[in-house]
A and B are shown apart, each in its own frame.
Chain A
């Protein structure tokens, strides 16, 4: 069984290529392109474009029907300072109003968290902000 090991060492992506040609990729089966290098650069680029993040896999690790340490998830984390102008009761749909905090504190635009930001988060932030030194 020396032969497969040599193959794997010389052509680490061969198993992947073999797998790829076994399928016709069409809905609902999608082929997702990958990159072999410059992960950090791609991560920064993804975050700049507003993407969710990156998934990385050890190239020579097997595909397992379980969790493994060979897959990594790198999420893009955004941050924003918001001036709290209102809140809803916990459990209510997101209707909390916050305002972009700018140096001049001009109040020209209200921002409603678009993506299901629970009111409890806003409440939590409110408590957090209250703990600031006055």
Chain B
């Protein structure tokens, strides 16, 4: 569940706020993972490698891509999909050339926590905490700061924001960069758990989109509630039956959810939330 929230947050910003379907989202995650691993292998401590280098590298990459590619295609949904899909394939290809198609990874830091006969990795518990901090921070930025207000205003009505002296292209670039940075952070944080291969993005992208779309309009609460619901269904079904049925249950739940609530969870409940 924490990992579903983690992989979806960057997409929630890019898709949820900007309505840009970024099919290279999975590859942004992959880049974050490689950024963390390369920094770690270069002798950097694991924490700054994951928490600073990964989001920074992918955030900068995101801003560059927005300026070069995405900004020319705002409002042209199909073209954006094609362009970002192309970007996704190009990234998989170039990373394979540089790093090879084998798995790289780092060991999870921290030890294990024992509760009775169950034990879990302390790192996974920490991830839940990090997701909490990110959600809380995101809420504060969006609701309490001038920056958040400008971003929300621009997404709601760009011409009006422009008339009030805001530069929408700059806001779009920053927002896309923040979304990319969040995605890079997620990639860096997941690298110790899952390892990284150039094609790892494929394993995440569908789930990320399903979570964000099921969540609905409110990017923070929507992502959190959808991840909580779908993640619990997946975990419980896997625990009680088999991993194959766990995946099936997640997808089936998302279909039922969208049939009943076409606007996502926050299209019906918590409508005024963020």
A and B pair up: no
